Copies of this chain bind each other. A is one copy, B any other.
Amino acid sequence: MSQILVFNNEVAAAVEAIVDEAKPNGLFIITDTNVRREVLPSLAEQSPAVARACVIECEPGDEAKNLRTLSEIWSRLVAGGCSRSSLIINLGGGVVTDMGGFAAATFKRGVKFINIPTTLLAAVDASVGGKTGINFEGLKNEIGVFREAVAVIISTCFFGSLPREELLSGYAEMLKHGLLDSEEAVDMLLDFPIENCDEPKELLQLLKKSVAVKQRVVEADPHEHGLRKALNLGHTMAHAMEGLALKTGSHLAHGYAVARGLVADLVLSHMKHGFPSERLHSVAAFVKSRYGAPEFTCDDYDTLIQLMRHDKKNIDPETINFTLLAAPGDIRLDSTATPQEITAALDITRDLLGC
């Protein structure tokens, strides 16, 4: 069953239409403290369904995406009399849509849910494609299921108040989708004034194209046996950079790691599959100007490679898997690279990003 994607800046109207159609026996909203304060009041004002709903509020941030919070959500669903014919709305960023989706997917063996992402990153990535879950014992998304929202309402109207870092974080995933799609898609993304966007309609159109790339991939391979690994482009490198930041206690937003991971993967793509040098340079210049230089040095290479060995998508820890490209849109799944090749790629990446 494919999920319905609604691209509409009239969010309240879209919610009303879905609730009218679904006629749920009980409506629940899972959100976090910030979104409840910033977003919910105006949505409730415009949507009687939202105003009536039982609100379940979690602490914000990735630290709250754990078994304790999940258990509290389940308790609140029990207390609110949630049944199999109820509907749950996850309103928030990726933490809310991941954890709320998992709570819904497991309550009474499955209650229908819709996602309303309030960040660009959640809109383009977490809210679409059916990955739900929580962190467990320090491991990201270790516990979860694949379960798609019945609908995702994607709008740009919550992005106006997003900090620059959060906006760029989401944009890195859009860049990934563009690279998986075509030359034209990459051109459009490199030209778009994401930091000074006063045209929400244009951004919504760009977002629609971007989500469509993910949707096509997920429909072809919902459970990540093959093509879905394409979405891992840039991510083996990015996860290692995030792991390094965690070790050194420095702050690194996911999208910033992805942006730099994409450049490193394009370098590897150039080395192993002849990815065009000119395109590599245009993407690297964009990443350098927006996301700045990565913090790691050549002293960190061993740690980074060690972290890559433990990526949960590897089949065994001796082989490091990458999704690479021969050109934008020309995907090479299950590419591998030796530690020497990775070292060379990291060197070139640092040069390109001006370390």
Contact = CB atoms under 8 A, between A and B. Distances in A.
Interface string A97-122: 00000000111111000000000000
A109 B71 contact: no
Q: Which of A67, A106, A109 has the most CB of B within 10 A?
A: A109
A145 B147 CA distance: 10
Interface string A77-105: 01000011100000000000000000001
Contacts of A158: none
A330 to B, nearest CB: 27
B78 A109 contact: no
Given A67-B71, A74-B136, A137-B78, A107 B142 contact: yes
A47 to B, nearest CB: 24
A78 B110 contact: no
A143 B107 contact: yes
A136 B312 contact: no
A137 B75 contact: yes
A106 B106 contact: yes
A144 interface: yes
A315 B25 contact: yes
A131 interface: yes
Report how many copies the assembly holds.
2
A106 B143 contact: yes
Contacts of A139: 78
A1 to B, nearest CB: 11
Given A74-B136, A109-B131, A312 B223 contact: no
A24 to B, nearest CB: 12
Given A78-B139, A145-B145, A312 B84 contact: yes
A145 B106 CA distance: 5
A133 interface: yes
A316 B25 CA distance: 9
B312 A142 contact: no
Contacts of A143: 74, 106-108
A310 to B, nearest CB: 10
Interface in A7-41: 25
Interface in A273-305: none
A146 interface: yes
A106 B316 CA distance: 21
A109 B146 contact: yes
Interface in A171-205: none
B25 A146 contact: no
Contact of A144 (B67, B83, B106, B146): B106
Nearest to A141: B109
A139 B139 CA distance: 29
Contacts of A108: 142-144, 312
Interface of A: 25, 67, 71, 74-75, 78, 83-85, 105-110, 131-133, 136-137, 139, 141-146, 223, 312, 315-316
21 contacts: A25-B315, A67-B67, A74-B136, A74-B137, A74-B142, A75-B137, A78-B136, A78-B139, A78-B142, A85-B315, A107-B142, A108-B142, A108-B143, A108-B144, A108-B312, A109-B132, A109-B133, A109-B144, A109-B146, A110-B145, A110-B146
A-B pairs, top 6 by smallest CB distance, nearest first, are: A109-B144, A106-B143, A78-B137, A109-B146, A109-B145, A106-B145
